[in-house]
Structures are given as structure tokens and as C-alpha cells.
Structure 1
């Protein structure tokens, strides 16, 4: 982190710290356009403004705040009751919330930009997509206080969704479902001018550069080589010095191609499964605008067992190109797509090697799961000669 970045970061921390201190003395407004301090402070009036905006006669008459979990963000489920107008309008009764009430949480969502991204997705973008992601009901981000809240469909209730600890495990039909899902949101926003209008959206190069500067992502990934000796093949370990430069070159290549909406974090723990076996993405907090191959490479290399990836990846890529064209995109030739697929493998590997480094301070994903994903993505880089494909 350079001196200028350090000064900006220090100023941001001080500003957010002052905001948190003031909020304890004088709570922020609880109007529908505001970002509540925490879900425990929600009221029927606030929820009415947030959930009944398109139905003036509808009102929230009661709600129950259920158990949840704490991590980078605070996650709680809500059960909502409405008056007759709300019931007639079929307004959502099973709602899932994510927020960042604590100082450390705000720092994490602020320096990475994930709070702003997820609020944008669920407030604005989700409604334009015919995909299986949770429906979005409300999303707000306070740029000064680094405070945010999103309200979404609680798919565990509405669709019987499951979220395995180790992430989804898919057979061939599940892998094809993943491919169709990515093709659908990529096609829907293919070269869409709104991607530039939504200023929260950065491209993957800018996004990664900020993460490197503010959180040491690339350096953390390199440090993890010291203990990930069983997971990283020797062909990759022997070229450790090339990883950081190759990462940024691959992203520079990415942003030169046609751009669309990217999820950017398509690993197995960010997919959920419904009873019919279909799988869909959630956790849309790292969204960006860039080339399709980043999402597809990351998903196939991290979700699929190595043997399955090797057997299926060419046919899955052909399926992706067909589905992309049907969804509104302009697919490249298979040869062009195969090269892009190979070039973008490094993104997922660096994310998960860095995750292993972060786990040594505070576990953000189970370390055994982390190591499995590192091993899969590292082997994919070796199999597909990613470092040589970038140059």
C-alpha cells in the first residue's frame, strides 16, 4: 500500500469510526431510504416503506426476527406479516437480511466495496434478470458511514434451498445448470450501457488492484505457498514469482474484451441447491463489469472435481456459447473462448490462496474446504497452461 493509499484508508477509518461513535449517541434516521443501524432496530413502519413501496395500501403489521449468523456481515432471517392489501399483493413473508452494524464489518465491506455492490444488485439489477438468484426487495449503501442493508428472498423457506458447508457438489446436469445460469445473466447485460452508468461497478482489473493495495490480496496469496505445498503442484510452485504479474496481466486481457455483468466469486460455497437438483448463485457482493470468461473459468475450476473438469470442460464451454447467444450475448468462436477460459483461471486460484492466508488470522471459510478449492484451481492452471496462455 503506497503512502497515498495509506492516507486515504486512514481517513476512511477515522470517518467511519466517528460515524459509529455518533450513532451510539444519536441513532440515524429510520426512514425507508435510510440504512438502519442494525436489523434489531427495524420497525413495522420502516419495513412498510421498504417492502410495500409499489403497493400504497399495503402495510407491515408485524414481524419476527429469527436466529442468524455473524461473519463478514450479520445475517438474519425475518418473517413478515401484512394487512389484507399486502396479503393480496403477495408481498414477501420470508425475508433474509444482510447488514454491517459493527465497526470491523463496515471496514471489511467498505475497503472491498462489497456493500455497495450487493446493495446495487438487489435494489436495482436483480429485477432485470431471469435467473434463479434470490429475489431482491431492498438494498441501500451509506457511502460515508460504510453501512448497508439488503433484504432478499429467504430461499431456504421459499424454495427449500440448501447451502452445504463444503459448497455444492454437482453431477453433469448440475454443471450444465451452472453454465446456463451464467450464460443468462451474461447475455442479459452483454455490452449494456447501464454497466457504465452504475458507477459502483468497477472492472476486474481496477477491483483487484484496489484489493491488492488495501488488503494485500496478491501478497497474501503468495505467502500461502509456504504451507499449501500439498495443494499447489510443483509446476506452479516453481513459477511462484510469476503469479502476481500474471494475475494483473490476465485481468488486463479481460477488460479488453466485450463486457457484461460479472458475479466474480463463483466458487462452490456461493451456489445453493434446490430440491430438483438445480443450482443458483447468491452472494452477489463482488459484482463487476468485465469479460464473461472470468466467471466461467472460476466456476468450473473451483466447483468441479479435477477429473470431471477435465472430462467435461470443452463440452460445457460449447454449451455456454450456445446459451450465451440465446440469452442476448454475442458469443466468440470456440477457439477464442477456449483461450479466454485458459487465461482467466488465475483469478480463482489467487482468491483462495489468499483466503487460506486470511484464515490464519480469522477463519472466513473452513480451511479444509479452502485447501480443496486451492488444489482444484491450481491444477486447472497447470492443466490449461494458464501462465503461458496469458503472454
Structure 2
């Protein structure tokens, strides 16, 4: 019965229209999140924020999202809830309105909590939709889904240049329109999701019985190690995404506007790495891609703080692509470690691990205030070296046994 259920899943067609729709929804959701770091330079000057306060804003956003993601994931593994997709986007809409008109640091914090909650609601169910629509192409499907989110995050520097520099904080009102589009789009996806749940009720029961066994010690170790690796990668991304723009302004003398293009190069390279990493993992193995992405980016990350400005973009393109090539792969790898727990896996890998990485925003902000931006850039450069621990992960064949 177990083998038959597995064959039935593997024979399912890949639903590209749903994959691209949920990827677009992921793009819109993470664009809402990208508004927060995009407005940092504006808020830092208009509200006279310290780097520690900037770190706390990033912490509030990411920790709300991350802590709640496993909670929603655990709940929806037992009782899938398609309506949570548009509801999460509506929460982000409220956060955008609050951020646009926030008069002080505390209202900013409250606003980003709504954005973080919207993201926490969206991600587990979004990952489940991608899983259900994947058919035989798990790596590609997860790459399509994740590339939408990474593209949304990558837009932060452009939002700064095109919206917040000319318009200021009030520019956040523009994103309420995107949120409305997101609510409509995700309502459509939720309709397909609900119909699929109804049509596949018997299959879902078989999956539930299949995943009810106790996790082995090897699997538990692999999941904890995987979370730690994503945690380390997130600390590096926190340093680049939240503070490298200030490092460019202080160390190289760039303007706010010019600095954004350098950070954008890192982020857009990460989008490409996310997309190509999925198909590469389908061909060469998920564990191999995870190992390569961390070890391959480490030497380049170590060089970054010491190179002249003309080499920053080439290094960023290489680091962003290599480091993010395992972004979607870690999710699929974890799903195979814990079959039947798609929402929980999304919450742990995309949510909790990244949110714990958001602690880095607070720690790095405090270190920047105590020491210097140069110090935290040097500190971050050593983080990809922790990727050597990925050698301890089980190979793909043993991971799914």
C-alpha cells in the first residue's frame, strides 16, 4: 500500500499554472517584507535611529514570521487551510498602511509585526501548494516557488532608489495595491487547493498514515544540522541585506541611491542561484548542492571586505549565486527527511531557521554600534565556512529511507 501510494504521487502531473501562480504570490508576499529593509535608510535619518534600532525592526519582522511559521505549519499538516493564503496577504496590507504613516519607532515595530504575521501565515501553505503541484519534479517545483520569494526580497534596493528616496516613508502606500492583487491571486490558488484536497482525500489519508512513524536519530540529527546551516547562511544574508548598504556609504563614500545597486547585485544573483539550484539538485543530488553552495562561496566571502569597489559587484554576483543555489534544495531535502510534514518542514527551514538567523540583525547592529561596520563585515565573512559541516548530512538515498 505504501509503495502504491508513493507511485501514485510520482505519476501526478506537474501543474505549472499553479506553480507560477503561487510563485507570483510568493513574490508579492516577500515584496511586502522587502519594503522594510528598503525603507531603513529613510527611517534611520528621519527618526534618528541607531543601528541597534534598525536591527530590532528587522528582528521584529523576521522573528514574528519565523516563530509562527512552524506553528501554522504544524496545524495545517493536520488540517490544511487554503483560506490562510489570502488572509496572510491581507495582514501584510494592514502592515503596509501602518508603516506608511508610522510617526515613531514603536509604530514601525507594530506595523512590521503585521507584515511578519502575514508571511508566517502564507509560507507553510504556499510550500504545500508547491509540493502538491510538483508531480515528479520536486526540485524544479520548489525552485519555481522559492524564486518568486527571492525575487521579491531582491527588489528591496530598487524600492529604496525608485520609491523611498523620492517619496520617503509615505511611499509604502504604493504596496497596498500589490497586496490587493495578491489577495485576489491567492484566492484563485486557494480555490484550486481546496478542490485538490477534496478530490484527493483518500490519498491524503494514506500519506498521513505513512508519515506517522517515529523519526530516526539520524533523521533528527540531519534536520537539526540543516537548520543550523540555514541559520548560518541567514546570518550572512542579514549582514549583507541589512548593513552592507551602510558599509558602502561609510567605507566607499557612496550615496544611498548608489549603494542600493551593489546590494541588488547580490540579491538578484541569489534569485538566479535559487532557480538553477533546484534542477541541479534533481540531477546531481540535494546533499551535494547543499555542500557545494556553502563551501564554494566561503573563499569569496572571505575576500569581500578587503577588495576595491570595482570588484564588489563581481564578487557579489558569484557569492549570491553559489550561496543561494541550495535555497530551495534545503526545503526539498528536509521534506524527504520528514515525509508528510510539508507545512512543518517549511516552518522549520524557511521560517524558524531564517528567523533565528534574524537574531543576527540585532547582534550585528549592536556590534556595529559598539565597534564598526567593518568589524561586522569581517565577522560575516567567516560564516559560510560553517558549511563544512554539511559533509555530515546523509546522502540523498539514505535520507529518504
- Both proteins in one fold, TM over 0.5: no
Name whichever structure is richer in strand by fraction. 1
Higher normalized contact order (CA 8 Å, seq sep 6+, divided by chain length): 2
Scaled to the shorter chain, the TM-score interval is under 0.3
More helix by share: 2
TM-score, length of structure 1 as denominator length: 0.24
